Amino acid sequence: MASKLLLIVVFILDLIAFGLAVAAEQRRSTAKIVQDSEVNYNYCVYDSDISTGYGVGALLFLMASQVLVMVASKCFCCGKALNPSGSRAWAVILFIVCWLFFLIAEICLLAGSVRNAYHTKYRTIFSEKPPSCETLRKGVFGAGAAFIFLNAIVNKFYYICYSSARENSFQAYGGEAGVGMASYK
């Protein structure tokens, strides 16, 4: 049976990562063009940069969750062979989907955090057009949160299927020396 303690800890880590990703989406940096006091040039003023920290936090909590599940399942490739069954087949499929969702979520969170931390530093002279105050597009952290949610579901199902297949592990000769030998009386 799958470890209930592990499932609870992973759920809490995923929940924290999801909450941080949603908070990062809500607190993305915004910018406005400001004229200096001498009216010689325009420049960009950005508000709080806290969503970068939220995005990195979500990334780290999601990574901790993924590592915990993979260590508990020995990353599916180490350990004794699993019994060929429906549970093993689902574990293989869910393992691949779990890693796919994890990578997409991590890419969204990392790209969002890096892009949100970037602020245009140049100014324009009064005769030029106003500067481009670049900010993060809406929905990048939201996409990361969506994939965190999907990964949270899939990695729990993966661990449960893996545990089920591990319980019914394949044993070479069933522990008996005479397996496969017919006895005639």
Which of 9-13, 160-164, 174-178, 181-185 is modeled with the greatest confidence? 9-13
Question: 31-63 pLDDT, tens per residue?
Answer: 777 777 776 677 777 777 788 899 999 999 999
pLDDT digits (tens, 9 = 90+) for 8-31: 999 999 999 999 999 998 887 777
The owner of tokens 């303690």 is: 5
The burial of 50, by beta-carbon neighbours within 10 Å (0-12 exposed, 13-18 middle, 19 or more buried), is given as: middle
Domain residue spans in the chain? 4-168
Between CA 183 and CA 185 the distance in angstroms is 7
Burial of 150 (0-12, 13-18, 19+ CB in 10 A): middle
- CA 89 to each of CA 67, 85, 130, 161, 166: distance values in angstroms, whole numbers, following the listed order: 22, 6, 58, 9, 12
If phi > 0 it is left, if psi is from -120 to 50 it is alpha, else beta; for residue 109 that is: alpha
pLDDT value at residue 14 = 96
